[in-house]
Amino acid sequence: MLRRISVNEWIDHQSASLESVHDSVLQIIQDVSSRGDEALLELSRRYDNVALETVQVSEEAIWNAHERVDKEVLQALIDAYERIVMFHKLQRQKEFWLQETDPGILLGVKVTPLERIGIYVPGGKAAYPSTVLMCAAPARVAGVSEICLCTPPGRDGPSPLTLAACAICGITEVYQVGGAQAIAAMAYGTASIARVDKIVGPGNSYVAVAKRIVQEDVAIDFPAGPSEIAIIADESANPAFIAADIIAQSEHDPSAASLLITPSEELACRVDEEIKRQMKDISRKEIILEALMQGGVIISSDLDEAVEIANTIAPEHLSLQVVEAIHKISQIQHAGSIFVGSYAPVACGDYASGTNHVLPTAGNARLYSGLNLSHFTKASTVQIISKEGLMQIQDTVEKIADAEGLHAHANSVRIRFE
């Protein structure tokens, strides 16, 4: 089931999956920005096969969702939320600090939370309450005052699991809108949905492309499309573990992609056999089989080349299942999240270790960090300068300003000493 592929094949596939839907997404965005709620209701009928009277989910439905969720599952969501909050609290910066850099000059930074953010939570083929937790927890820790959430509709409304997770996070503004139309609604606003300052959250190719298009008008976290994993493994790795990780990644959706990078031909064959064995009695089999075709295996000359390949493709998830894996971390330059050792499956980061599972995909880990506290804040620099302090830098400011021909700038300093 694991086909041999090249680095270029992997990269081409990841970019092609986004480019193929660009025109359709642009049309949806233009429709929503011009017709608002009317377009949202029509698009729900067309793409979700659901006839809605309103896109807003009532607060009553949100708070009552827990009654439709297994108590043990509900407690697991609460436990996960607490772990995610704990990890993101470790990322807190001082809200305001000042440091004297010269006599009479105090410089500092004031950190302020964003006022209103929009969260996108996928749906359709599966419910993702964990994504609610991953997006809302850092927003809450950062102090964001307004949070709205969009998720695809179902015949009986959004998934109770998703709504229960909203209740856990204290989110009461929820809309049953999915896909590119949800991104457009949060970016430009409709009669029902007020526009947001920033959109966060993962989604399919349509959602990823929509975020890329609207970022000229609204801030986004980063491109987060179909999920992916790269596994670097040597002959010491357990093929059953690797096969399980590949299958787990593949059950997200048909566009998910898994890549094994190994210098061991024997390991690649054993992993392939394990995938076939584990696939015999498994749910979501059709989705997994289709997703397996998106990835494959690359046989490297050694582990150093395996790391080079991983750095080239900049995967969303990178699993290191090699001898003394911890020593390889320093060589990794580009990865959304790194999972070290045979007992660190990606599922831990997906749900309960506390790190965030909203991560850049399709090579964008080369440019972006995964979702973290800084995505929900902005920083203003502060300078407090006395006359004594201004004297310290007067000559420098005047000379550079005059050299640039901005003499009024220079005069704004010079006049203070006349």
Please report, for residues 42, 180, 316, 319, the alpha-carbon distance to residue 230 in angstroms, rounded to integers and kept in the order given: 39, 27, 8, 6
What is the 3-state secondary structure of 98-148? EEEEECCEEEEEEEEECCEEEEECCCCCCCCHHHHHHHHHHHHHHCCCEEE
Catalytic (active site) residue 316: yes
Of residues 146, 171, 140, the one with CA closest to residue 65: 171
Exposed/middle/buried for residue 94 (C-beta within 10 Å: 0-12, 13-18, 19+): exposed
DSSP code, position 352: T
Q: Which two tokens stand for residue 90?
A: 């470790």
Angle formed at CA 250 by CA 226 and CA 280, multiple of 5 degrees: 165
Cα dihedral 271, 277, 281, 285 in deg (nearest 10): 50
Phi, psi of 404 (to 5 degrees): -85, -5
Please measure the distance between the N-terminal and C-terminal CA atoms of the chain and give it in whole angstroms. 80
Q: What is the DSSP string of 219-230?
A: EES----S-EEE
Q: Which of 317, 327, 334, 375 is catalytic?
A: 317
Task: Kindly report the backbone phi and psi dihedral angles of residue 126, in degrees, each rounded to the nearest multiple of 5, phi listed first.
Answer: -160, 165
- Cβ atoms of 339 and 320 within 8 Å: the answer is yes
Which one from 316, 334, 398, 404 is the annotated catalytic residue? 316
Residue 19 annotated among the catalytic residues of the structure: no
Evaluated on CA atoms 155, 37, 55, 80, the torsion sign reads positive
Q: What angle do CA 310, 312, 317 make, to 5 degrees?
A: 40
For residues 224 and 370, the answer to whether their CB atoms sit within 8 Å is: no
Return the H-helix or E-strand segment holding 56.
strand 56-57
Residues 6+ apart with CB under 8 A from 191: 36, 37
- Catalytically active residues, by annotation: 316-317
